[in-house]
Structure 1
């Protein structure tokens, strides 16, 4: 497991990007739980964001691909709108403890 950050660095309905072992990934927090995904849209394989740490739509309730506008559920990575509807983001095992947020890549 790789340590990403302190828990306080990821608030509710927020996202943050990281790179561990050459893999670009990001984490989101929804309903107090943290989810980790590869930073790659299943439509064309591009990074999801244009700005650092900006992976969510304006309502902060869905993950958004800045290139194609695809929208993904925060808790499953399933695409619910856009050119890759029905596909899913690649997820990583993630846990949170008193030291912070950890991911297995």
Structure 2
């Protein structure tokens, strides 16, 4: 991939947890990344219902059980694996997925304009 930026190293996101990231310089939206073992799922940090950030407190993106992404404003829940909304006012919609790759050194890379 060309024109990428690094988010962090995979080890900086505890397994089963999520972390938020600022968007690119001058960008409006941020990103969220959820780690599941050696995989990471990255989405634009914006609820499809009205575009608000999903968390009310830094890095608080998951429900109490850590199984679903949760919109703190509306209570909508999303599958980690594909961002599909299961419950809430945007049921049937999806979070905007961001292509991510993990290099041999464990760094997570996303497109440079992700979250712009």
Q: Same fold (TM over 0.5)?
A: yes
Q: Determine the structure 1 residue equivalent to 2:47.
A: 41
Superposition RMSD in Å: 1.1
Larger strand share, 1 or 2: 1
1:81 corresponds, among 81, 84, 87, to 87
In structure 1, stretches of 5+ residues that fail to align are none
Shift of 1:70: 0.1
Give the deviation of 1:12 after TM superposition: 1.4
- Aligned to 2:82, the other structure's residue is in SS state coil
- Higher Cα Rg: structure 1 or 2? 2
> Alignment partner of 1:8: what SS?
helix
Q: CA deviation at 1:99?
A: 4.2
Q: Which consecutive segments of 4 or more residues in structure 1 shift more than 6 A? A: none
Q: Deviations over 1:9-47 (max 9, x none)?
A: 112111111113223111001243101100000011111
Alignment of 1:14-53 (within 5 A): 14-21=17-24, 22=27, 23-53=29-59
Gaps of 5+ in 2: none
Match of 2:107 among 89, 100, 103: 100
- Once residues 17 and 33 of structure 1 are traced to their aligned partners in structure 2, the CA distance between those partners, rounded to angstroms, is 16
Supply the distance in 2 between the matched residues of 1:63 and 1:17 (Cα, whole angstroms).
Answer: 12
Q: Are 1:17 and 1:25, in contact at CA under 8 Å, matched by a contact in 2?
A: yes
Alignment of 1:7 onto 2:36: no
- How many residues matched? 105
